[in-house]
Amino acid sequence: MAKTMKPTEQTEVSEAQIAVHWKEEAYYQPSEKFKAQANMRDPHIFERFGLDKFPDCFKEYADMLTWFEPYHTVLDTSDAPFWKWFVGGKINASYNCVDRNLAKYGTKAAFIFVPEPEAERDVVIKYQELYDRVNEVAALLRGLGLKAGDRVTFHMPMVPELPITMLACARLGIIHSQVFGGFSGQACGSRIQDSGSRVLITMDSYWRNGALVDHKANADIAVRTAKDLGQDVDKVLVWQRYPGKYSGKTPMVPGRDFFVNDLLKDYKGQEVEPVALPSEAPLFLMYSSGTTGKPKGAQHSIAGYLSYVTATSKWILDIHPDDIYWCMADIGWITGHSYIVYGPLANAATSVLYEGVPTFPDAGRPWRIAERLGVNIFHTAPTAIRMLRKLGPQEPRKYKYQFKSMTTVGEPIEPETWRWYYDEVGKREAVITDTWWMTETGGFLGTTVPAIHAMKPGSCGPAAPGIHPVIYDETGAEIPKGSGKAGNICIRHPWPGIMQTIWGDHDRYIKTYYGKYNKNPRSKDWRDWPFLCGDGAVQAADGYYRILGRIDDVINVAGHRLGTKEIESACLTVPEVAEAAVVPVQDEVKGRVPEVYIAVKPGVQPSQEVIDRVIKANEEVIGKIARPKHVYIVPDMPKTRSGKIMRRVLAAISNRRDVGDVTTLANPDVVEQIRIMVQGKDTVTTHDALPEDIAKFGQAE
């Protein structure tokens, strides 16, 4: 892998090369106890959801929802690839997540909110209270003149007010667009502009790592950024972390900023009929990164999306109404939308909502919460698992919780970490479900069905019922299972949870997800439209998939997608910077972290000050998660004769690998200079294969 390769050779990673990192692993079986209680244990499920049963098999998913009017067509492909699921039906997501649970579960907790400060008490929100609060907020939004089809941007932390406001929007058909709370005000502002929101809903402050963060300041920046981009925001609605008290530092702008709690006084006790909306009306937008510098707003539908997350929450997460379920993710990402809010609530779950950092104040915190609240289903990302393991490998033993099931999501989990999760966190009793999917897909794609399949560390498993993946090589030929070759994983068909389009950019939707493998753009047959997921993968002989990472120059930092073009544009906002290149570096905790190489403009002296500015620019334009591990000021970028920056060479240097043959570059000498700068004179590089996403880095254009 270290030598220079032609692009076509790069996909042909042999099983032997991959085995440098991950060997084929032994199976682990789910316990009889788990199997006996599981929601899905029908071994014929995969026949019922065979490709020959497509798309009618998904009627079973639609049947899990309560409809105001029945649908007449399961899947309408007449405007392919803009799929319409369950056409003709009328439905409401808020009704399905809240109202329909009242009769049976009104007095049961929907959410148990755990504040980060340990001295603060939990807040239990029962389904009846959730109903009351969602209705009041819906009445308020309606009172402000908002209606079905309008977009509203949220920039909220992990507090119960976030799902409450989402469900209030869903009640009216308002399309919500939640921006991850850790993103900067500027990042929020550009998403406000793209979605055309006139209302921003935020919170004054929240706890993170022991500090009360002033969050309202970001709203001021967001509104200013949106305005500069041409989008006016009329109203900023500010929730208070401590109701009745303002914990922000920037002044409220008269006529623009309002405390939600003040406005709500006029809507006490009001009820709002859930609007009967068409199945394919949009429910929300979720922005995510891709190959270009502009994040894309994945648009998800009401009925298709909701049916998909409801069914997978029931069958894969195995949520029963009497479980205590905890997804330790942030609602600001797709995982939280699908598997904290919509899927679990539609299954009448009781779910834990934790405000803060998993390791605050120490690495025992999650296990204390689990013990105290009797959590029995736990869901988190490999980054959190690695961090908890690093800081407190023995901590789980000190607490008497007992999980029946655990999930991992967001990044490949290496077998060693998997085994710690299994042995220590799951105490060798809990099943582990490794769920592979993405923002665009709404819910799980690659996974085991936990009571049916054995687990295999490092592989996500086969696929969810009704999902039929295929791995294609660069030419569009199928790569057979067991061949040991990697390729681009696609799904052969649409499914209810699939995104509808990219908000405001139908062409980009077609080009990004279908451009590579669709052979007939006029076809109305779904068979002509395999969906390109954006990951490299290999399928072992047993049918299990191993995911090798993104193929589109997206760096997956601690499970969060960051586009290299976004980071590079942030660097270029620093006036001294002439050129910037970002590469992924392997990190023991976060999986991947970005490293930045910059060249300064003529006459500018390289200095720590420039480096600090580059770091600050990333924090301001994107957010703290985009903070580069290192910034190197180089004399020149390694370039091809046609002037293209060779990010692959920089990635090899950053990852302490041999750079291979660089003699064909326009400026080969600079490579050695950079190598010494980064690695020091005497560093011994290795020829070990790089993980696929890094090896192929810098090729997507």
Concatenate the DSSP letters of all residues of 166-234 into one string. Answer: HHHHHHHT-EEEEPPTTB-HHHHHHHHHHHT-SEEEEESEEEETTEEEE-HHHHHHHHHHHHHTT----
Cβ distance to ligand WTA smaller for residue 135 or 289: 289
199 contacts 145 by C-beta, under 8 angstroms: no
Contact 432, 455 (CB under 8 A): yes
As measured in angstroms, the least distance from the Cβ of 79 to ligand WTA is: 25
CB of 633 to ligand WTA, least distance (A): 31
Q: Which segments of 265-342 does DSSP mark as H helices, in order?
A: 303-315, 334-336
| Kind of pairing between the strands at 324-327 and 90-91 | unpaired
Reference 170, options 302, 348, 307; nearest CA is 302
Cβ closest to ligand WTA, residue 274 vs residue 465 = 465
Q: Which is nearer to ligand WTA, 295 or 364 (CB)?
A: 295
Beta carbon nearer to ligand WTA, 554 or 670: 554
Compare residues 555 and 645 and give the one whose CB is closer to ligand WTA. 555
Give 395 or 535: the residue with its C-beta nearer to ligand WTA: 535
Burial class of residue 469 in the structure, from the number of CB atoms within 10 Å of its CB (0-12 exposed, 13-18 middle, 19+ buried): buried
Q: Regarding beta strands 405-409 and 123-126, do their DSSP bridges make them parallel or antiparallel, or are they unpaired?
A: unpaired
- Between the CA atoms of 162, 184, 592 and 502, what dihedral angle is there, to the nearest 10 degrees? 70
* Nearer to ligand WTA among residue 239 and residue 339 (C-beta): 339
Residues 291, 563 contacting (CB under 8 angstroms): yes
Q: How far is the CB of 536 from ligand WTA (least distance, A)?
A: 9
Which helix (H) or strand (E) segment holds residue 6: the answer is: none
Q: Which is nearer to ligand WTA, 179 or 438 (CB)?
A: 438
Q: How far is residue 273's CA from residue 693's CA, in Å, rounded to a whole number?
A: 48
Shorter beta-carbon distance to ligand WTA: residue 105 or 495: 495
Work out how close the CB of 582 gets to ligand WTA at its nearest, in angstroms, rounded to a whole number. Answer: 17
- Cα–Cα distance for residue pair 597/61, rounded to 1 Å: 48
Q: CB-wise, 325 or 436, nearer to ligand WTA?
A: 436
Distance in Å, CB of 627 to ligand WTA, minimum: 18
Q: Where does 57-160 have alpha helices with state H?
A: 59-62, 93-97, 102-105, 127-143
Closest approach, Cβ 410 to ligand WTA, in A, equals 5
Please report where in the chains the tokens 């007992």 appear, as a residue: 402
- The minimum distance between CB 694 and ligand WTA, in angstroms, equals 13
Least Å distance, CB 454 to ligand WTA, is 17
Binding site for ligand WTA (CB under 6 A): 288, 333-335, 409-412, 434-439, 460, 534-535, 547, 549-550, 556, 561
- 672 torsion bin: left (phi>0), alpha (psi -120 to 50), beta (else): alpha
Phi, psi (5° rounding) for residue 401? -80, 165
Q: How far is the CB of 434 from ligand WTA (least distance, A)?
A: 5
In the complex, the smallest distance separating the C-beta of residue 229 from ligand WTA, rounded to whole angstroms, is: 24
Q: Find the helix packing angle between 216-228 and 185-195, rounded to 10°.
A: 50
CB closer to ligand WTA, 139 vs 385: 385
Four-CA torsion 74, 78, 79, 81, nearest 10 degrees: 60
How far is Cα of residue 8 from the mean position of the Cα atoms in its chain? Answer: 29
In whole angstroms, the minimum distance from the beta carbon of 295 to ligand WTA comes to: 11
